[in-house]
């Protein structure tokens, strides 16, 4: 129940986040394969780049990469891409603002490397 300790927008995102986490946890029990940041980070990376990739293909590739993240990392990145600030993401996820900032930085780097790797193999 909304108690006014945060903005209504933040509270709504928190409810949506918790609902999504519950759903994902149920799905995970059905053997959904999710990957940790460390597993992605450990993957070999190639820095080949195709400069003329169309926007739609790039966005679809970005979405595929984001969907391989664990639920919390995925939620942080989607919130970041929705232009939410670190404090709002912190309120929603229950992490400290510093942890959110660190995770955003790491996820952006991993997505960038993974994106370049996928471009090389395309």
Q: Is 3 inside a domain boundary? A: no
Instruction: Using pLDDT thresholds of 50, 70 and 90, give the confidence band for residue 13.
Output: confident
Q: What share of the chain is helix, strand, coil (3-state, %, to 5)?
A: 70, 0, 30
Task: Report yes or no on whether pTM surpasses 0.75.
Answer: no
Under 8 Å CB-to-CB from 76, ≥6 apart: which residues?
89, 93, 95, 100, 103, 104, 107
Question: Where in the sequence is the domain holding 70, given as residue range(s)?
Answer: 8-121
User: What is the separation, in whole angstroms, between the first and last Cα of the chain?
Assistant: 48
Q: Is 75 inside a domain boundary? A: yes
Q: Is 61 inside a domain boundary? A: yes
Q: Is 1 inside a domain boundary? A: no
- Mean pLDDT, rounded, for 6-24: 75
Give the pLDDT confidence score for residue 48 in this predicted structure: 47
């Amino acid at each position: 129940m909304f108690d006014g300790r945060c903005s209504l927008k933040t509270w709504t995102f928190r409810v949506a986040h918790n609902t999504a986490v519950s759903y994902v946890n149920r799905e995970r029990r059905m053997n959904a394969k999710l990957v940790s940041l460390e597993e992605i980070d450990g993957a070999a990376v190639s820095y080949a780049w195709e400069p003329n990739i169309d926007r739609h293909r790039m966005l679809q590739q970005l979405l595929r990469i984001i969907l391989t993240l664990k639920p919390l990392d995925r939620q942080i990145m989607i919130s970041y891409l929705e232009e939410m600030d670190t404090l709002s993401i912190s309120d929603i996820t229950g992490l400290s603002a510093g942890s959110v900032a660190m995770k955003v930085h790491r996820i952006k780097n991993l997505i960038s490397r993974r994106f370049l790797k996928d471009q090389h193999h395309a």
